[in-house]
Every structure is written in structure tokens, then in C-alpha cells.
Structure 1
């Protein structure tokens, strides 16, 4: 089976079996509960080929998580805009914002061309100020204690800090047969303080036959826009940690809770399903870097990626 087929089968399963549900964004979805995909990382890097997925954004976002960063300024410095809407929402809903009404900007920008132009202007002004004004970025670029904070600086009730990533790497090296190789991003005490509660909530590593595998549990997944990023991001994380630990890569297993397709993505999904998958690319890491914390964007290269063209779709915020 082609490495991408597991994802395409998931899309078909949701289209054929999904239940119509309302959601927090007001968009509406087709949803199924409980679905699992498996990707053999020995057979290629699982970046979709039936549409172009921007790999550099996946790399910079993962490195942002690994730095423990929770402010979008780093992402914007790497021309990564995938978290903009949540920070922008915080800005336009604040008492300091005095510009045009941006209420429900996500849907309105898709439905009203004139409003869409105003929204894009305001978003560009916001991004420019984020890059130029450190104090503004400190206040309005902050997303709260999201992934990076929980991965690298989990706060205990005793006021201590737990670096889950550093700890799990040490455990893999010291006791690879452990069944406790787990990292959690879901911290109930701080969920209300996050711009977006973690969708990819926890992951577990497994070592067998000299190979490192990873299983992700994702409580909620935007199947068309989000899950392709998540697959590639956690496959990349598996490669990076295997590299540091002197292991080969095994499988990446993606387990979904609420797996959904937004109703305004149905045409895009059908277009993608009509395309023929192409050979998967391979991943090349800078052999001169050992620790996952040493890697920069340019140290991670994709070889042989030849996808079909991009398929655009609106983000539900």
C-alpha cells in the first residue's frame, strides 16, 4: 500500500460514515470518533503528495515547540503564518484595538470579498508590528501555555519544572524497553489559558529491533488542513529523536479522537481524492548535529518531493 493511502482512506471513511455535527467555530463538520492510521517511516517520509504541503512551515513549527516557545514572533521571523489567526483574534478583541470591526473574521473574510480585503490589511499591519515592536509582540504574540510550554516546562503543584522532551530522550537512551516513554501536552490546569487547547494531546515512543516508533493521540483533527501537518510533524520528531538516540525509525501511528472534515472543505477533499499519489520523499538531517535542541531549519532537508499543486481551503478559527 502506498504510504499516503492510509490518509486517503481516512478521508473516504469520514465522507462515507461521518456524522454531521456542529462545532465551536460555527462552520459544521462531518465527524467520526476513533480512527487510526499507520505509516512505515522506512518506506518514505509521510508528507502528502496528492497536494503540496509546505514542509518548511512544519519544520519551523516543530522547532518552535522544541524550543519551548509560545509566542508567534519566532514563527513570523521564519515566514510561518499558521498560528496568526489565534494571536490576531486576541489583538482585535482587546481594548487596545481601535481598527475596523473584526468580529468573526474567519468566516466573514470567506463570504465577503470587501471585508476580506480589510481583514488582510489589518492582519498585515498586525504581523508587521509583531516583527518590529518587541513589547507589542510580548503581549499580543503570546498564545498562553500551549505545546512548547508543556513539552519543555511543565509546572508542578510544587513549583517545579519538568522538561518532558529532555526526560523522554534520556529514558529512551537509558531504558528503551520502558512503557512510560510519554509526553503530554494536555495540562487540565492551564487549558483555559491557552489560545487553542492542544489538539495533539499526548504521544508515546516505543523501541523494538533498534527502531524508534511513535504513537500520537489527537483529540481533535481538521482532516484536510491540520492532520497532514500533524502526520509530517510527528514523523519528523520521530526522526530527530531517533537520530539523537542512535536508532533507526520504525512506524508513526496516528490515533484520532474526533476526526472531522469541515463542511466548507468537502469539495477540496474530493479534488484531492481524485488525484493519484506520487512517490514519497525522503528526509535528510544534518549529521553534524546530534541533539534535537541543536537543529535549525536549514539542518532539515526534504529530498525528492514532487507533489500535486496546493489546494486552498479556509481555516476555521
Structure 2
């Protein structure tokens, strides 16, 4: 059975059984009908995914690998903050009349900074260090820029990636590991979506830097299930679990900026039915 399924089910059970309710608190999120959107939450959830063993797409329901990859590339490759550069509609409610989400996400990754080696943005800095100084303990990105928060239509949820390279005894290639830090996550709508996005990112960076993939560690400060999602989650985690799919990444691509959504594929991906009409708190 899929290790990602087991991790997801254990996390959801822990939140439902041991989490804390925010009911009665003054909360920012609300439902489209104006009702406050309360949650059951756990602080400091940490999940580990060994990408060398399997790709962490859950099989309880389908995760749209091409769509989530496109969103990741919108942020990390195109470094865009405009929804007109994105085919999906997941960001539409946060965009202004021009399609901008403000100085958030891709915008921050595209800002160039002065380093000893020259002017680079954060993505190019990561790639530079992985190729030239792979054992550095300083390879990371951070898009939670306080001076620009007032110009962001949504504060970043997944805000930092830390990369760490190891070399296993006897291996000719280095192994790329990463930590994804997230301040807050809606578990039903976004958990496996984000896990798959950043698993793809690690695979892509490892390939262009001639490395193997290792662990992806996901740290969530506020892992929550919304009140109107509880019955959906309870049904989801009781479903049959299947074998993890095989992940395919186009081996011809050696430049991170050449990847497209069509360069990823999940093979033998058997899943339960999709959950439709999930209410989304705003």
C-alpha cells in the first residue's frame, strides 16, 4: 500500500482525535455565506516522504499531477504573480482586476539579490549552490518577506524550502533532500497537492543537478481540518488504499527552465473517486 496514504490517514486521525477546535474564537476565514469557518487543528505536524522509495501521491482520491506541477512552475520557474500566466483557477479569488495577487509567491522568487557571486534571484541561487557548493547548509528560499506583506493579497502559506545534500556510502551521485515549511494548511484541499508539487520540484532540481532524490520533509505549523470538511475527511480516510504510482520525469530535460507540465507523469495510478464540491473557506 502507498506510504503516502498511510501518512495522510494517520495525520487526519490524529487531528480529528487529538486536535483543538477553534470554535468560538475570532477567526479570519469564513464561508461564502458569511459564517465563520472554524477548524480542528494540530500544531507542528511533521511528515516525511522518502522520494527514493515512492512518489507520495495519495491513492484515496486522485491528485492532478499536471495541474499541481503547473502551479508550482508558475511560482518557481515563471516567478509570476499573475493568474493570467496560469491555466487553473485556484488563485482567481485572490487576484485583483488585473490578475495580480500582489508581491506574493512567484514575485518574491523573482527578485534579484546581490551575492558575492553576483546578482541572482532565489531560485537561481539554489541551483547555483547545488551545482557549485552542494554541501552548503545555507541553501534555502524564503518568500515570507515582512516589508512586502501589506502588498500581498494572501500571505504565503508554503513559505520556505531548505535543501540539504548528502552522499550515501558507495553512491557515485549525491542525494538531494528538502524541507518544506508551511505556516498553515487546509488538509483536505491542499495537503497532498502541496506534497506532490514539492516532490516534483525536488525531482526536477535533482535531475538538472545530476543528483538522486532523497527525503522531502513537510513541516506544518497549523495543520487544520475545517468544520464543514470533517465528514468528507472521515469518509476519505476509510477508503481502500492502492499501490503508489510510478513517477516519470522527462529524462531529456537538463535545464530547470525547460520543464513543462507535460514532462511529468504518474504511471499505474489507481485511485478512489474524486471528492467534488468541497466548500472552500476564504
Whether contact under 8 Å (2:65, 2:265) holds in the other structure is no
**1:169 and 1:3 mapped to 2: Cα distance?**
29
Can you give the 5+ residue segments of structure 2 that lack an aligned partner in the other structure? Answer: 30-35, 168-173
**1:245 and 1:42 mapped to 2: Cα distance?**
16
Structure richer in helix, relative to its length: 1
Which piece of structure 1 moves more, 248-257 or 290-299?
Answer: 290-299
What TM-score does the superposition give when structure 2 sets the normalisation length? Answer: 0.88
Please, what is the CA RMSD of the aligned residues?
Answer: 1.7
**1:147 and 1:161 mapped to 2: Cα distance?**
20
Question: Could you say which residue in structure 1 is the equivalent of 2:83?
Answer: 72
- Is 2:265 the partner of 1:301? yes
- Is 2:13 the partner of 1:3? no
- Is 2:69 the partner of 1:59? yes
Which piece of structure 1 moves more, 187-196 or 282-291?
Answer: 282-291
- Is 2:218 the partner of 1:208? no
TM-superposed CA distance for 1:229, in Å, is 1.0
Between the two proteins, the alignment pairs up a number of residues equal to 261
From the CA coordinates, give the structure whose radius of gyration is larger.
1
**2:112 and 2:227 mapped to 1: Cα distance?**
36
Question: Could you say which residue in structure 2 is the equivalent of 1:316?
Answer: 281
TM-superposed CA distance for 1:162, in Å, is 4.4
Taking the TM superposition and a 5 Å limit, the aligned residue runs for 1:80-95 are 80-87=88-95, 90-91=96-97
The 3-state SS of whatever aligns with 1:69 is coil
Whether contact under 8 Å (1:32, 1:260) holds in the other structure is yes
- Is 2:35 the partner of 1:24? no
The 3-state SS of whatever aligns with 1:190 is helix
TM-superposed CA distance for 1:73, in Å, is 0.9
Taking the TM superposition and a 5 Å limit, the aligned residue runs for 1:110-259 are 139=98, 141-153=99-111, 162-209=120-167, 210-259=174-223
TM-superposed CA distance for 1:58, in Å, is 0.4
The 3-state SS of whatever aligns with 1:250 is strand
Can you give the 5+ residue segments of structure 1 that lack an aligned partner in the other structure? Answer: 92-138
TM-superposed CA distance for 1:152, in Å, is 2.2
The 3-state SS of whatever aligns with 1:43 is coil
Deviations 1:196-219 (A, max 9, x none): 110011110111122111111100
What TM-score does the superposition give when structure 1 sets the normalisation length? Answer: 0.79
The 3-state SS of whatever aligns with 1:192 is helix
**1:278 and 1:6 mapped to 2: Cα distance?**
14
Whether contact under 8 Å (1:42, 1:250) holds in the other structure is yes
Deviations 1:45-89 (A, max 9, x none): 1111101122221011011112111110121xx3x11112222xx
**Structure 1 stretches of at least 4 aligned residues deviating more than 2 Å after TM superposition:** none
